[in-house]
A and B are shown apart, each in its own frame.
Chain A
């Protein structure tokens, strides 16, 4: 057995770092929110995939590849998908059009993240294959007094949960005081959120005790994580933008349905990604998909190899914001070339010494961190990699 680095993880829930101890070292359980498959994944989606892939790899290294279960879901029911299906395949029946959109987009996503060297998660469940599990959860929530039916919707009653808002640090008063939230009269509290909503004839829907309808966004992750990882599991990850409302509401659903103290013990969130100094947006012209970077010359006038994209992402600690730029990619390419030259005819060591792995673990655990770039870099230099410009 090789070295086991003691991972120390920052937990959004406690706003602090703590040594990580899995509930069961023979089955370490990780869930990360995956893509909504209506369009090509952008480089910000790529960052989340890479960050949690690195965590998956470190966990596999520490606990054994067979002892880590990583679930990354595919959201294939969403109103954005319906809109895209109507736009792109107006001649097809809606269900067929939706399937075309979700299947081609999901296949493209798998191709993109594979090119970024992301391992395949243990399970990649689709929301539409888990409608039954969602309905069961909703039934339980209604039965326990945490949800109610109003005007064709099943809503989660946030007031029914004493400590709603723990993860994001928002309390219900904030929500109300901040209220730009349109006041829906059928909601008992404006912060109540949808678990199920009725579908019109031309919207996708499933039969349910509450009528033909479709699930809200948050319930799918509660259902799929329970199915594959259990009521409480080790780590739940995603981008910073998912903390509220998505993860907050996942926690509310899962804990209230199971009467549990936690949905996941550790919550990890990767930082935002900007492109060339600005928030990525189609209107600014700095919106780039993974596919564009890999296969077209749209960004910086050239195609970029997947390993350069991956290194460009990992050069920054996962919780820090990244300014993704052409210059950063060029630096990554230069480093890779330098390392390749320095490697010469050497083959990878079959066993990593503990101290080497200890130097990699901080990428995930400490902040600021010795960067990814400084790691292999150190062996091309005489001394420790303190001169690396990526070191904070």
Chain B
């Protein structure tokens, strides 16, 4: 992503009165939950992993699992609007 174009886009959106970036919330314990779920997955405790995912989903948090360059399972998360 071109930094300059992103900056232009954000400014243009601001002129339209549309705030694209949300305030970043304080650490609400999501990161530790995500780590806990990753541990559960790695130890094949799928019931626990699913429960955490469901719990987070109810708070509007979406998880995306992926493999990093070393082939390790990782999880990205974001707050849904």
- List of A residues within 8 angstroms of B25 by Cβ: none
CB distance from B8 to the nearest CB of A (A): 5
Q: How far is the CB of A68 from chain B (nearest CB, A)?
A: 14
The smallest C-beta distance from A65 to any residue of chain B, in angstroms, reads 12
Known: A360-B15, A378-B9. 20 other contacts (CB 8 A): A54-B17, A58-B15, A117-B19, A307-B18, A307-B19, A337-B80, A340-B20, A344-B1, A346-B1, A348-B10, A348-B13, A349-B7, A349-B11, A352-B15, A372-B16, A372-B18, A375-B9, A375-B12, A376-B10, A376-B18
Give A121 Cβ to nearest chain B Cβ, in Å.
14
- Is B81 interfacial (CB 8 A cutoff)? yes
Residues in B whose Cβ lies below 8 Å from that of A310? 17-18
Asked if A333 is an interface residue, CB under 8 A from chain B, the answer is yes
When the two chains form the complex, which single residue of B8, B14, B17 contacts A118, counting CB atoms closer than 8 Å?
B17
Partner among A57, A344, A350 whose Cβ is within 8 Å of the Cβ of B16: A57
In the assembled complex, the Cα of A378 lies from the Cα of B33 at a distance in Å of: 36
Interface size on A, residues (CB 8 A): 43
State the CA gap A359–B9 with chains docked (Å): 11
Asked if A343 is an interface residue, CB under 8 A from chain B, the answer is yes
Count how many pairs of residues, one from A and one from B, have CB atoms less than 8 Å apart in the complex.
Answer: 105
- Inter-chain contact B3/A346, CB cutoff 8 Å: yes
Binding site for B on A (CB under 8 A): 50, 53-54, 57-58, 61, 117-119, 305, 307-308, 310-311, 314, 333, 336-337, 339-344, 346-353, 356-357, 359-360, 363, 372, 375-376, 378-380
Other-chain contact of B14, A53, A348, A378 (Cβ < 8 Å):
A348
Please name all residues of chain A whose beta carbon is closer than 8 Å to the beta carbon of B12 when the two chains form the complex: 352, 356-357, 359-360, 375-376
The smallest C-beta distance from A234 to any residue of chain B, in angstroms, reads 20
- CB-CB under 8 A from B8, the residues of chain A are 349, 352-353, 356, 379
Q: How many residues of B contact A (CB 8 A)?
A: 25
For window 2-53 of B, CB contacts with A under 8 Å fall at 2-22
A54 to B12, CA, bound (A): 12
Q: How far does the Cβ of A43 sit from chain B's closest Cβ, in whole Å?
A: 17
- Please indicate the chain A residues that have their CB under 8 angstroms from the CB of B18 in the complex: 117, 307, 310-311, 314, 336, 372, 376
Q: Give the complex CA separation of A49 and B49 in angstroms.
A: 46
Taking a contact as CB atoms under 8 Å apart, the answer to whether A349 and B1 are in contact is: no
Contacts of B78 in A (CB 8 A): 337, 341
* Binary contact track B54-81/A, C-beta < 8 Å → 1, others 0: 0000000000000000000000001011
What are 27 residue pairs bridging A and B, where the CB atoms are less than 8 Å apart in the complex?
A50-B17, A119-B17, A311-B18, A314-B16, A314-B18, A336-B81, A337-B80, A339-B9, A339-B13, A339-B20, A340-B20, A340-B22, A341-B78, A346-B1, A352-B11, A352-B15, A353-B8, A356-B11, A356-B12, A359-B12, A360-B12, A375-B12, A375-B16, A376-B12, A376-B13, A379-B5, A379-B6
